[in-house]
Protein backbone atom coordinates (compact mmCIF):
# COMPACT_ATOMS: atom_id res chain seq x y z
CA UNK A 1 0.00 0.00 0.00
CA UNK A 2 1.18 3.50 -0.79
CA UNK A 3 2.49 5.64 2.06
CA UNK A 4 0.96 8.77 0.50
CA UNK A 5 -1.26 10.55 3.00
CA UNK A 6 -4.94 11.15 2.21
CA UNK A 7 -4.30 14.90 2.29
CA UNK A 8 -1.87 14.61 -0.62
CA UNK A 9 -4.32 12.47 -2.59
CA UNK A 10 -7.10 14.96 -1.93
CA UNK A 11 -5.07 17.98 -2.98
CA UNK A 12 -3.75 16.37 -6.16
CA UNK A 13 -7.06 14.94 -7.33
CA UNK A 14 -9.18 17.97 -6.42
CA UNK A 15 -6.76 20.33 -8.19
CA UNK A 16 -6.82 18.09 -11.25
CA UNK A 17 -10.62 17.98 -11.20
CA UNK A 18 -10.85 21.77 -11.04
CA UNK A 19 -8.98 21.93 -14.36
CA UNK A 20 -10.30 18.84 -16.17
CA UNK A 21 -13.85 18.09 -15.06
CA UNK A 22 -16.32 17.54 -17.88
CA UNK A 23 -19.18 20.00 -18.14
CA UNK A 24 -22.21 17.77 -17.55
CA UNK A 25 -25.72 19.13 -16.96
CA UNK A 26 -26.34 17.09 -13.81
CA UNK A 27 -23.26 18.71 -12.26
CA UNK A 28 -24.48 22.24 -12.85
CA UNK A 29 -25.44 24.21 -9.71
CA UNK A 30 -29.01 24.62 -10.93
CA UNK A 31 -29.63 20.93 -11.45
CA UNK A 32 -32.36 19.60 -9.19
CA UNK A 33 -31.89 16.58 -6.91
CA UNK A 34 -34.36 14.80 -9.21
CA UNK A 35 -32.09 15.51 -12.17
CA UNK A 36 -29.16 14.06 -10.23
CA UNK A 37 -31.17 10.96 -9.31
CA UNK A 38 -32.23 10.39 -12.92
CA UNK A 39 -28.64 10.77 -14.11
CA UNK A 40 -27.30 8.30 -11.58
CA UNK A 41 -29.82 5.62 -12.55
CA UNK A 42 -29.23 6.18 -16.27
CA UNK A 43 -25.44 6.14 -15.93
CA UNK A 44 -25.36 2.66 -14.39
CA UNK A 45 -23.60 0.49 -17.01
CA UNK A 46 -24.27 3.11 -19.70
CA UNK A 47 -21.75 5.60 -21.19
CA UNK A 48 -22.21 9.33 -20.68
CA UNK A 49 -22.54 9.98 -24.43
CA UNK A 50 -25.61 7.76 -24.63
CA UNK A 51 -27.15 9.12 -21.46
CA UNK A 52 -26.90 12.84 -22.26
CA UNK A 53 -29.67 13.12 -24.90
CA UNK A 54 -32.01 10.75 -23.05
CA UNK A 55 -31.47 12.60 -19.74
CA UNK A 56 -32.36 15.92 -21.38
CA UNK A 57 -35.50 14.41 -22.92
CA UNK A 58 -36.59 12.96 -19.57
CA UNK A 59 -36.07 16.22 -17.67
CA UNK A 60 -37.88 18.17 -20.38
CA UNK A 61 -40.84 15.79 -20.20
CA UNK A 62 -40.76 15.01 -16.48
CA UNK A 63 -39.02 17.88 -14.65
CA UNK A 64 -40.22 16.63 -11.26
CA UNK A 65 -40.83 13.19 -9.74
CA UNK A 66 -44.56 13.93 -9.60
CA UNK A 67 -44.62 14.51 -13.36
CA UNK A 68 -43.23 11.03 -13.99
CA UNK A 69 -45.38 9.45 -11.28
CA UNK A 70 -48.51 10.75 -13.03
CA UNK A 71 -47.71 8.66 -16.11
CA UNK A 72 -48.14 4.89 -16.49
CA UNK A 73 -44.89 2.98 -15.92
CA UNK A 74 -44.96 1.89 -19.55
CA UNK A 75 -44.28 5.46 -20.61
CA UNK A 76 -41.04 5.38 -18.63
CA UNK A 77 -40.09 2.15 -20.44
CA UNK A 78 -41.00 3.73 -23.78
CA UNK A 79 -38.95 6.86 -23.11
CA UNK A 80 -36.03 4.75 -21.89
CA UNK A 81 -35.63 3.69 -25.51
CA UNK A 82 -32.34 1.82 -26.00
CA UNK A 83 -30.37 2.78 -22.92
CA UNK A 84 -30.31 -0.90 -21.94
CA UNK A 85 -31.33 -2.70 -18.75
CA UNK A 86 -34.89 -1.27 -19.02
CA UNK A 87 -35.89 -2.41 -15.55
CA UNK A 88 -34.07 0.75 -14.46
CA UNK A 89 -36.92 2.72 -16.04
CA UNK A 90 -39.44 0.88 -13.85
CA UNK A 91 -37.28 1.52 -10.79
CA UNK A 92 -37.16 5.23 -11.55
CA UNK A 93 -40.93 5.30 -11.99
CA UNK A 94 -41.46 3.44 -8.70
CA UNK A 95 -39.08 5.85 -6.95
CA UNK A 96 -40.96 8.80 -8.43
CA UNK A 97 -44.27 7.45 -7.11
CA UNK A 98 -42.77 6.99 -3.64
CA UNK A 99 -41.26 10.49 -3.69
CA UNK A 100 -44.64 11.96 -4.64
CA UNK A 101 -46.64 9.93 -2.14
CA UNK A 102 -44.25 9.84 0.81
CA UNK A 103 -42.08 12.94 0.48
CA UNK A 104 -44.36 15.61 -0.93
CA UNK A 105 -42.84 15.33 -4.40
CA UNK A 106 -39.35 16.32 -3.26
CA UNK A 107 -36.35 14.00 -3.42
CA UNK A 108 -35.42 13.42 0.23
CA UNK A 109 -32.02 14.64 1.39
CA UNK A 110 -31.79 12.06 4.17
CA UNK A 111 -29.56 9.15 3.16
CA UNK A 112 -31.71 6.55 4.93
CA UNK A 113 -34.83 7.84 3.19
CA UNK A 114 -33.07 7.74 -0.17
CA UNK A 115 -32.01 4.16 0.50
CA UNK A 116 -35.60 3.25 1.36
CA UNK A 117 -36.91 4.36 -2.04
CA UNK A 118 -37.88 1.42 -4.27
CA UNK A 119 -35.14 0.45 -6.70
CA UNK A 120 -32.52 2.69 -5.08
CA UNK A 121 -29.47 0.80 -3.87
CA UNK A 122 -26.50 1.74 -1.71
CA UNK A 123 -24.49 3.32 -4.51
CA UNK A 124 -27.33 5.50 -5.85
CA UNK A 125 -28.41 6.65 -2.38
CA UNK A 126 -24.84 7.68 -1.52
CA UNK A 127 -24.36 9.37 -4.90
CA UNK A 128 -27.53 11.45 -4.65
CA UNK A 129 -26.86 12.39 -1.02
CA UNK A 130 -23.35 13.48 -2.01
CA UNK A 131 -23.84 15.06 -5.44
CA UNK A 132 -27.28 16.63 -4.91
CA UNK A 133 -27.03 17.57 -1.24
CA UNK A 134 -23.29 17.93 -0.59
CA UNK A 135 -23.14 15.29 2.12
CA UNK A 136 -20.20 13.15 3.23
CA UNK A 137 -20.66 9.62 1.90
CA UNK A 138 -18.41 7.06 0.25
CA UNK A 139 -19.59 6.87 -3.37
CA UNK A 140 -17.99 3.74 -4.77
CA UNK A 141 -18.47 2.83 -8.43
CA UNK A 142 -16.17 0.88 -10.77
CA UNK A 143 -14.11 3.97 -11.64
CA UNK A 144 -13.53 4.83 -7.97
CA UNK A 145 -12.64 1.24 -7.13
CA UNK A 146 -10.06 1.17 -9.94
CA UNK A 147 -8.38 4.41 -8.80
CA UNK A 148 -8.24 3.14 -5.22
CA UNK A 149 -6.89 -0.23 -6.33
CA UNK A 150 -4.06 1.25 -8.36
CA UNK A 151 -3.16 4.40 -6.47
CA UNK A 152 -3.52 3.05 -2.93
CA UNK A 153 -3.29 -0.75 -2.84
CA UNK A 154 -1.08 -1.27 -5.91
CA UNK A 155 -3.44 -3.62 -7.78
CA UNK A 156 -3.98 -3.38 -11.51
CA UNK A 157 -7.72 -3.95 -11.13
CA UNK A 158 -10.20 -4.07 -8.26
CA UNK A 159 -11.88 -7.29 -7.17
CA UNK A 160 -14.62 -8.69 -9.44
CA UNK A 161 -17.26 -7.35 -7.05
CA UNK A 162 -17.25 -4.74 -4.30
CA UNK A 163 -15.65 -6.00 -1.08
CA UNK A 164 -15.92 -4.88 2.53
CA UNK A 165 -12.24 -3.91 2.42
CA UNK A 166 -12.89 -1.60 -0.54
CA UNK A 167 -15.75 0.05 1.30
CA UNK A 168 -13.58 0.57 4.37
CA UNK A 169 -10.84 2.10 2.24
CA UNK A 170 -13.30 4.46 0.52
CA UNK A 171 -14.61 5.63 3.89
CA UNK A 172 -11.07 6.07 5.26
CA UNK A 173 -10.13 8.25 2.28
CA UNK A 174 -13.08 10.63 2.66
CA UNK A 175 -12.15 14.19 3.64
CA UNK A 176 -13.70 15.21 6.94
CA UNK A 177 -15.31 18.37 5.62
CA UNK A 178 -18.68 17.61 4.01
CA UNK A 179 -18.34 19.90 1.01
CA UNK A 180 -14.80 18.71 0.30
CA UNK A 181 -15.88 15.09 0.69
CA UNK A 182 -18.68 15.57 -1.84
CA UNK A 183 -16.29 17.16 -4.33
CA UNK A 184 -13.71 14.41 -3.70
CA UNK A 185 -16.35 11.78 -4.46
CA UNK A 186 -17.03 13.15 -7.93
CA UNK A 187 -13.37 14.06 -8.58
CA UNK A 188 -11.95 10.58 -8.00
CA UNK A 189 -14.79 9.14 -10.10
CA UNK A 190 -13.88 11.51 -12.93
CA UNK A 191 -10.22 10.56 -12.67
CA UNK A 192 -11.16 6.92 -13.14
CA UNK A 193 -13.42 7.71 -16.08
CA UNK A 194 -10.96 9.93 -17.99
CA UNK A 195 -7.43 8.94 -16.94
CA UNK A 196 -7.22 5.80 -14.82
CA UNK A 197 -9.25 3.80 -17.32
CA UNK A 198 -9.62 0.02 -17.42
CA UNK A 199 -7.84 -0.23 -20.77
CA UNK A 200 -4.86 1.92 -21.70
CA UNK A 201 -4.72 4.14 -18.60
CA UNK A 202 -3.22 7.55 -19.29
CA UNK A 203 -0.71 7.43 -16.47
CA UNK A 204 1.37 10.32 -17.79
CA UNK A 205 -1.67 12.59 -17.40
CA UNK A 206 -2.45 11.40 -13.87
CA UNK A 207 -1.94 13.78 -10.95
CA UNK A 208 -0.99 10.78 -8.80
CA UNK A 209 1.68 9.41 -11.14
CA UNK A 210 4.60 9.80 -8.71
CA UNK A 211 2.49 8.56 -5.76
CA UNK A 212 0.62 5.69 -7.38
CA UNK A 213 1.37 2.38 -5.66
CA UNK A 214 0.72 0.43 -8.86
CA UNK A 215 3.09 2.58 -10.94
CA UNK A 216 5.77 2.53 -8.24
CA UNK A 217 5.52 -1.28 -8.19
CA UNK A 218 6.24 -1.41 -11.91
CA UNK A 219 2.63 -1.70 -13.11
CA UNK A 220 2.26 -5.42 -12.30
CA UNK A 221 -0.28 -7.30 -14.38
CA UNK A 222 -3.66 -8.16 -12.93
CA UNK A 223 -3.35 -11.40 -10.98
CA UNK A 224 -7.04 -12.25 -10.77
CA UNK A 225 -9.46 -13.72 -13.31
CA UNK A 226 -9.88 -11.90 -16.61
CA UNK A 227 -13.12 -10.05 -17.00
CA UNK A 228 -14.93 -11.05 -20.15
CA UNK A 229 -17.10 -8.69 -22.11
CA UNK A 230 -20.77 -9.52 -22.39
CA UNK A 231 -21.93 -11.05 -25.67
CA UNK A 232 -24.90 -9.49 -27.42
CA UNK A 233 -25.69 -11.02 -30.81
CA UNK A 234 -28.17 -13.86 -30.51
CA UNK A 235 -28.52 -13.58 -26.74
CA UNK A 236 -31.74 -13.30 -24.76
CA UNK A 237 -30.79 -9.68 -24.08
CA UNK A 238 -30.92 -8.94 -27.80
CA UNK A 239 -34.27 -10.70 -28.18
CA UNK A 240 -35.75 -8.87 -25.20
CA UNK A 241 -34.58 -5.60 -26.72
CA UNK A 242 -36.25 -6.39 -30.04
CA UNK A 243 -39.52 -7.31 -28.37
CA UNK A 244 -39.52 -4.10 -26.36
CA UNK A 245 -38.67 -2.08 -29.47
CA UNK A 246 -41.86 -3.34 -31.16
CA UNK A 247 -43.95 -2.38 -28.13
CA UNK A 248 -42.29 1.01 -27.73
CA UNK A 249 -42.96 1.86 -31.36
CA UNK A 250 -46.72 1.35 -31.04
CA UNK A 251 -49.05 3.61 -29.05
CA UNK A 252 -51.57 0.77 -28.98
CA UNK A 253 -51.39 -2.83 -27.71
CA UNK A 254 -49.56 -5.12 -30.11
CA UNK A 255 -50.87 -8.45 -31.43
CA UNK A 256 -48.73 -11.51 -30.78
CA UNK A 257 -48.08 -11.88 -34.52
CA UNK A 258 -46.15 -8.60 -34.54
CA UNK A 259 -43.90 -9.89 -31.79
CA UNK A 260 -43.50 -13.23 -33.54
CA UNK A 261 -42.14 -11.42 -36.59
CA UNK A 262 -39.25 -9.79 -34.73
CA UNK A 263 -37.27 -12.99 -33.97
CA UNK A 264 -37.24 -16.36 -35.79
CA UNK A 265 -36.51 -18.71 -32.89
CA UNK A 266 -39.96 -19.33 -31.41
CA UNK A 267 -38.73 -21.03 -28.22
CA UNK A 268 -36.21 -18.27 -27.41
CA UNK A 269 -38.75 -15.58 -28.28
CA UNK A 270 -41.37 -17.12 -25.99
CA UNK A 271 -38.85 -17.48 -23.17
CA UNK A 272 -37.82 -13.86 -23.47
CA UNK A 273 -41.40 -12.62 -23.65
CA UNK A 274 -42.25 -14.60 -20.53
CA UNK A 275 -39.24 -13.03 -18.81
CA UNK A 276 -40.36 -9.52 -19.78
CA UNK A 277 -43.82 -10.22 -18.38
CA UNK A 278 -42.32 -11.59 -15.16
CA UNK A 279 -40.12 -8.48 -14.85
CA UNK A 280 -43.13 -6.19 -15.19
CA UNK A 281 -41.88 -4.70 -18.46
CA UNK A 282 -44.67 -6.18 -20.61
CA UNK A 283 -48.35 -6.62 -19.79
CA UNK A 284 -50.34 -9.39 -21.54
CA UNK A 285 -53.97 -8.56 -22.28
CA UNK A 286 -56.95 -10.89 -22.21
CA UNK A 287 -57.41 -10.63 -25.99
CA UNK A 288 -53.94 -12.00 -26.67
CA UNK A 289 -52.28 -8.67 -27.34
CA UNK A 290 -49.35 -7.19 -25.40
CA UNK A 291 -48.55 -3.69 -24.17
CA UNK A 292 -46.07 -1.80 -22.04
CA UNK A 293 -47.16 -1.78 -18.37
CA UNK A 294 -50.13 0.48 -17.62
CA UNK A 295 -50.24 0.30 -13.82
Q: Using the predicted structure, report yes or no on whether residue 235 has a pLDDT greater than 70.
A: yes
- pTM for this entry: 0.92
Q: Using the predicted structure, report yes or no on whether residue 283 has a pLDDT greater than 60.
A: yes
Q: Using the predicted structure, report yes or no on whether residue 241 has a pLDDT greater than 90.
A: yes
Q: Using the predicted structure, report yes or no on whether residue 3 has a pLDDT greater than 70.
A: no
* 3-state SS, one letter per residue, for the chain: CCCCCHHHHHHHHHHHHHHHCCCCHHHCCCCCHHHHHHHHHHCCCCCHHHHHHHHHHHHHHCCCHHHHHCCCHHHHHHHHCCCCCCHHHHHHHHHHHHHHHHCCCCCCCCHHHHHHCCCCCHHHHHHHHHHCCCCCCCCCCHHHHHHHHHHHHCCCCCCCCCCHHHHHHHHHCCCCCHHHHHHHHHHHHHHHHHCCCCCCCCHHHCCCHHHCHHHHCCCCCCCCCCCCCCCCCCCHHHHHHHHHHHHHHCCCCEEHHHHHCCCCCHHHHHHHHHHHHHCCCCEECCCCEEECCCC
pLDDT digits (tens, 9 = 90+) for 162-202: 999 999 999 999 999 999 999 999 999 999 999 999 999 99
Instruction: Give residue 5's pLDDT.
Output: 83
Q: Using the predicted structure, report yes or no on whether residue 226 has a pLDDT greater than 90.
A: no
Q: Using the predicted structure, report yes or no on whether residue 230 has a pLDDT greater than 80.
A: no
- pLDDT interval class at 62 (50, 70, 90): very high
- pLDDT interval class at 231 (50, 70, 90): confident
Q: Using the predicted structure, report yes or no on whether residue 76 has a pLDDT greater than 80.
A: yes
Q: Among all residues, which ones are annotated catalytic? A: 40
Instruction: Give residue 238's pLDDT.
Output: 95
pLDDT digits (tens, 9 = 90+) for 90-123: 999 999 999 999 999 999 999 999 999 999 999 9
Q: Indicate the average pLDDT of the chain.
A: 95
Q: Using the predicted structure, report yes or no on whether residue 53 has a pLDDT greater than 70.
A: yes
Domain ranges of the chain: 32-131, 236-291
Q: CATH for 236-291, among 1.10.3470, 1.10.760, 1.10.260, 1.10.10?
A: 1.10.10
Structural fold of domain 32-131: Endonuclease III; domain 1 (1.10.340)
- pLDDT interval class at 131 (50, 70, 90): very high
Amino acid sequence: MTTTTPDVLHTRVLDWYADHARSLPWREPGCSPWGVLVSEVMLQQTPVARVLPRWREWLDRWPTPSDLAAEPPGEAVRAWDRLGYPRRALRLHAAAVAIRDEHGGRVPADHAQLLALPGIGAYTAAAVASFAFGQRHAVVDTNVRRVHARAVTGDAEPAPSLTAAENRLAVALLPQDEATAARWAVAVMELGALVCTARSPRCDACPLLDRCAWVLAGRPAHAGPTRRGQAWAGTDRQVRGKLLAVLRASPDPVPAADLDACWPDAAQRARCLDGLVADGLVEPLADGRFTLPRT
